Amino acid sequence: MTDKTPTYDDWKAKADKEVKGRDLTWHTPEGIDVKPLYTSEDTEGLDPGVPGMAPFTRGPYASMYTGRPWTIRQYAGFSTAEESNAFYRRNLAAGQKGLSVAFDLATHRGYDSDHPRVVGDVGKAGVAIDTVRDMEILFDQIPLDEMSVSMTMNGAVIPVMAFYIVAAERSGVSQDKLSGTIQNDILKEFMVRNTYIYPPEPSMRIVRDIIAYTSKHMPRFNSISISGYHMHEAGATAVQELAFTIADGKEYAQRAMDAGLDIDAFAPRLSFFWGIGMNFFMEIAKMRAARHLWHDVMEGLGAQNPKSKMLRTHCQTSGVSLQEQDPYNNVIRTTIEAMAAVLGGTQSLHTNALDEAIALPTDFSARIARNTQLVIQEETGITNVADPLGGSYYIESLTDALVTEAKKMLDEVEAAGGMTEYVASGKPKAAIEQAAAAKQASVDRGETVIVGVNKYRRDKEDEIDTLDIDNHKVRQSQIARLEKVRAARDDFACKAALDALARGAAQREGNLLGLAVEAARHDATLGEISEAMEDAFGRYDTSPTPVRGVYSEAYADDDRYAQVVAGVKAVERRLGRAPKLMVAKMGQDGHDRGANVIASAFADMGFEVVSGPLFQTPEETRDMAIANEVDAIGASSLAAGHKTLIPELIGLLKDAGRADIKVIAGGVIPQKDYDFLRDAGVQGIYGPGSNVVECAADVLRLLGHNMPPAGEDLDEAAE
């Protein structure tokens, strides 16, 4: 008896009958149509190879985790160097294997803690580093010749690297013994994260000089971590994250080669950094596709060493997938994302804490995050097989689809003249913002389900303890140490070293990192080193241009959206003009996804939106709001500056006789701070998970419109 092997068509006929002909195809944001079933027919002609061999689709190393598991590298840093050092040592004692340093926003932007523009930023969302002395304290009793250190730094990468090198020297560890990674990925800053200092071209020189310096002096150190993570967090699709990140890597490699560096001398020390979200199989396939794409790019550039073609990566679970509502669900989300990173073949991993949608992690939440990885490593059996998902019809087909789609985008970048030119055109930033707005609209409409947020919402949320940083206290302690360092140094030698750095920047001579190391040896501060280069390069600035049309298209047939649009028109008739909202980003936080989504959505609903430039002071925000005669200011806060900057803005508006301008706040704001903000005069607070259409309805009510609650008829609203 010979039974015919069932085919896909046989299955489909049976499935169609069960679901009454309903289309089961999943149309992803990446433009990939995912079928409900995959068979051997889908992988005909696809050969992913084996781990450790070109094109490295199945992993960069032959043994993968069977020989050694991935490195547990938790990203952390807050307040002072002393506090961060104590936190690191506790984590290392509890099983963490590598360090990943988070710096505060003042440090990222090249300002010393005593600079007037960073009053609300010092010690928030990372550790404040002003001098080599801070760096020495940060790594106190941590053997830098044994411990791998990753540092997320791009804008002020020169002084931070210089401080790390000199701090190691002062502890008796030479440069050649240092191991770890510096992010040093400036192109993505111009697309999404915005913690840049200098314009694109001099920024690319900095990247090149760091690659050159580390290739010569620091053979164990990765000179760049090319980051898709921040694109992921800004709303990029998997294809966008893949294509733009690989294109960034190609651009850095090409620039180094143009400067005379041998590709095989530096390429083995390049590494990558991916964000891992909740689309489980897509994230696994993304990492496999990335290795394949990078292999092909490096072959095209002429690399000969197999290690040059081998993409190695760090991963971090998604921050944007974490929710303020029902926050213990975040433990589940992080676990799923960690599993995807591991099954995708990461070399190191950071798992986010459950409270990071609200505040900096506590010791309690950090322990759960770290233990998530320990449980996966020690209890699941995942480490017993190299690439356990290799050969999966779905995974291999999805990997191939991502490679195909990403190559189309890479061709577009190439046609534009490379990634520097493409970034300058604004196209990648606009594409990511378009994707982010579309994602938010899908969440708001309930098409993308988030448990506890837009489905299965609890009537009352549990309160959770969060970490609160006394920004004023931290800033005062940093200023005291700055003054002490400046008083004890040889000012003449320090100035000479800074002058040499300034000349090197202006005359395009010498290696900027080498010159900065010399300045650091004479105790130049981070702000002084940054300013020496700024004198030659200038400080880069840009104003956001929100995308239009995403929300209006997504909500074309939505009754509630129509109510809000009608409400805006009613207010417009009453005022004789459209209601005006200014979207403000105060402080040094460059994360602008939320601000851009709000600006895009409100503009589509009929508001006149004024988008303030990044990095404003409260004074600058007040002046812009008054000059533009706005009705309300939406202050976006993602880096814990809301308790200082927003109350200051409200006070300045009152002093100017414009207390009538409503101030609302959105972003990462703990529930326990809501009363404080309301007492300070904030009239609306919208945390993570807020429905943007309902936010607009609430703003209309603040502006005096009788906006009905969701579900009530439009004619119940009076002008």
DSSP letter string, 183-210: ----HHIIIII----S-HHHHHHHHHHH
Question: Which of 108, 188, 230, 292 is labelled catalytic?
Answer: 230
589 is catalytic: yes
176 is catalytic: no
Question: Which of 591, 642, 643, 662 is labelled catalytic?
Answer: 591
Tokens 């990078």 label which residue? Answer: 294
Strand partners, 685: 665
Helix (H, G, I), strand (E, B) or coil at 556: coil
Q: Alpha-carbon distance 196 to 177, whole Å?
A: 29
Q: Alpha-carbon distance 327 to 352, whole Å?
A: 12
Tell which phi-psi region holds residue 667, choosing left (phi > 0), alpha (psi between -120 and 50) or beta. Answer: left
Q: Alpha-carbon distance 73 to 394, whole Å?
A: 30
229 is catalytic: yes
Q: How many residues does the chain have?
A: 719
Question: Which of 232, 407, 429, 585 is labelled catalytic?
Answer: 585
567 Cβ partners below 8 Å, 6+ apart? 697, 700, 705, 707, 717
Q: Which of 231, 300, 237, 321 is nearest to 272 (CA)?
A: 231
Instruction: Find out whether the peptide bond into 55 is cis, omega within 30 degrees of 0.
Output: yes
Tokens 């303020």 label which residue? Answer: 324
Q: Which of 395, 399, 414 is nearest to 244 (CA)?
A: 414
Question: Which of 65, 75, 164, 198 is labelled catalytic?
Answer: 75
Contact (Cβ atoms closer than 8 angstroms) between residue 228 and residue 242: yes
Question: Which of 229, 394, 561, 686 is labelled catalytic?
Answer: 229
DSSP letter string, 468-523: ---HHHHHHHHHHHHHHHHHHS-HHHHHHHHHHHHHHHHHT-S-HHHHHHHHHHTT
Q: How far is CA 428 from CA 140, 403, 589, 704, in A?
A: 41, 18, 21, 39
Q: How many CB atoms sit inside 10 A of residue 221's CB? A: 24
Q: How many CB atoms sit inside 10 A of residue 489's CB? A: 15
422 is catalytic: no
**Segment (H or E) for 636:** strand 632-637
Question: Which of 134, 185, 248, 589 is labelled catalytic?
Answer: 589
One-letter amino acid for residue 607 of the chain: F
643 is catalytic: no
27 is catalytic: no
Q: Order across the sheet with 313-317: list the strands.
A: 221-222, 180-182, 149-151, 98-101, 71-76, 348-350, 313-317, 270-276, 224-227
Residues 76-102 as b or e (16 or more Cβ within 10 Å = b): bbbbbbebbbebbeebbeeebbbbbbb
Q: Which residues are designated catalytic?
A: 75, 229-230, 585, 589, 591
